[in-house]
Amino acid sequence: MHNNNSNNNTFLLNRLIKYKSLLYHFTFFVQLLDRFQVIYSKLDLFFLHLYYYTAMSGVSDFPEFTVVGLIDEGQFIYFDSKTKEAVPKTDWMKQNVGADYWNRQTQIFTGGHQSFKVDIQTLKGRFNHSTGVHTYQVMYGCELQDDGTKRGYEQHGYDGGDFISLDTNSFTWTAANPQAMMTKNKWDSTGAYAMKQKAYLQNTCIEWLQKYVGYGKDTLEKKVSPQVSLLKKSSSSQVVCHTTGFYPKEVTISWQKNGQDHYENVNLGELLPNEDGTFQKMSTITVTADERKNNKYSCVVEHQGKTMEEILTEGKNSLPIGIIVGGVVAAVLVLVVIAVVVFKVLQK
């Protein structure tokens, strides 16, 4: 048994080393999620309807093309170039749309795969990249606010950075770097692509958003309280407050020291979707063994008017290396497909 665990840990470590460079490439989508969370904090939004397309080259273990569709940051549809089939990720999608819908989505995403294969090679040429891991990513979609206000988005990224985006006020394109100027000039020359996207973002996207919200009304309006765990490795000074399984997505995670709010050496993680439509979020605090011994630290989680407190005690929830590395590898996969459970193994 010990040998098997050692082999598994070595395998996970090797995968982590091999794929750690992917974290840089997928910061593009993480930054986009950050931007939308800022928007959420300032506006009383109804729902978001977004698609994330990712093309990859230089990594054989992952699909070279994936599509993830989100409603309110929860995954409802998925496609990749290995399975070659659009599939539902929620029960309400399985129950409300038939084979014609899935066949049509599969055809659309298959066509997108072929286009993205060409696009990523074009971008590699512009950036003088011939080897290594490279990504081309597109996010587009719409939002509908309670007052009826509509907004659309389309942003393209290459290797983790902005490339070109659609200005939805003027419906012209904004280049983020010199390599994108050729694309901007081409798309702005006729305006045809921008007008096509305008029609989609302001009409078709909103119409489908309203349909999807109708399909999933009971699920999307549910309230599920989070599960809170304190996780630490015995030899580390970092402690993770892992909050998972909650819905809706608004949650506050804070730390207290001896009953008082504590902000030093605290790092709040990203909001991430779970496969079941709920969400998870982590907050990490760095505190030495002596500080833990001489003080009372606790993680306080507030969600939908309920407050939960988890108190840190010595010897509690010490994690084996396999689980820690497995969680990091899972985090890489989250960035690839947006909705993978980072610490699912901890809940078994």
Q: What is the CATH number of domain 16-220?
A: 3.30.500.10
Residue 3 has pLDDT above 60, yes or no: no
Tokens standing for residue 170: 């003027």
> What are the structural domain ranges in the chain?
16-220, 227-347
Asked if 280 and 272 count as a contact pair (C-beta separation under 8 A), the reply is yes
Query: Model confidence at 316, in pLDDT bands (50, 70, 90)?
Result: low
| Cβ neighbours around 107 below 10 Å, total | 11
User: For residues 68 and 338, what is the distance between their CA atoms, to the nearest angstrom?
Assistant: 7
Instruction: Give the sheet arrangement for strand 74-80, strand by strand.
Output: 87-88, 74-80, 65-71, 45-57, 134-145, 150-158, 161-167, 172-175
What CATH superfamily is the domain 227-347?
Immunoglobulins (2.60.40.10)
Q: Name the percent of the chain lying above pLDDT 70.
A: 76
Beta strand ranges found along 1-102 (DSSP E): 45-57, 65-71, 74-80, 87-88
**pLDDT tens digits, one per residue of 68-118:** 999 987 789 999 999 999 999 999 999 999 999 999 999 999 999 999 999
Residue 193 has pLDDT above 90, yes or no: yes
Residue 31 has pLDDT above 90, yes or no: no
Tokens standing for residue 113: 């795969």
pTM metric for this prediction: 0.70
| Average pLDDT taken over every residue of the chain | 81
Length of the chain: 348
